[in-house]
Amino acid sequence: MLAAPFNDGLRVGVVRYQRCAACGHAQTLARHACQRCGREDLRWHDAAGTATVRAATVVARAPSDDFRPLAPYTLVIVELDEGPRLMGHAAPGVQIGQGVRAGFFEHQGRTLLRFTPID
């Protein structure tokens, strides 16, 4: 399964991303080919877990019953220090441009990302 390396990383507390061996482009979503050059020589790498917040929003009305117990909660799009962007939960009050570190929490049998500010 293509997404397995990313999901396996979450289960053991590691953010993973793909890097193209041909052009060096990094991407977080599991793909069969590089978004930049189209080559298929992608390799999984472990990220350091540090990132910069690029967008943030507070979800007051959960999209499903599964997430209703978490509401209100903060979602962010972060740019990993390695380059790719991804979305995850965040500590309340995080700000755009702030440095954050990836952490993980369990919710209804799933491991989810949560970013907290770097002190």
How do residues 97-115 score in pLDDT, each as one tens digit? 999 999 999 999 888 999 9
Res 30: pLDDT = 84
**Is 28 strand, coil or helix?**
coil
Dump pLDDT digits (tens) for 19-41. Answer: 999 999 999 878 899 999 999 99
**Is 67 strand, coil or helix?**
coil
Do 62 and 77 contact (CB within 8 A), yes or no? no
Whole-angstrom distance, CA of residue 118 vs CA of residue 78: 13
Res 7: pLDDT = 58
Q: Please give the average per-residue pLDDT across 14-19, as a whole number.
A: 92
Query: Counting beta carbons within 10 angstroms of the beta carbon of residue 70, is it exposed (0 to 12), middle (13 to 18) or buried (19 or more)?
Result: middle
Q: How confident is the model at residue 55 (pLDDT cuts 50, 70, 90)?
A: very high
What is the dihedral sign for C-alpha 111, 112, 113, 115? Answer: negative
Dump pLDDT digits (tens) for 56-97. Answer: 999 999 999 999 999 999 999 999 999 999 999 999 999 999
Strand ranges of the sheet holding 16-20, from the earlier edge strand across to the other edge: 26-27, 16-20, 42-46
Res 119: pLDDT = 77
Entry pTM:
0.86
Pairing of strands 42-46, 110-117: unpaired
Res 75: pLDDT = 97
Whole-angstrom distance, CA of residue 96 vs CA of residue 52: 8
Res 39: pLDDT = 95
Res 17: pLDDT = 93
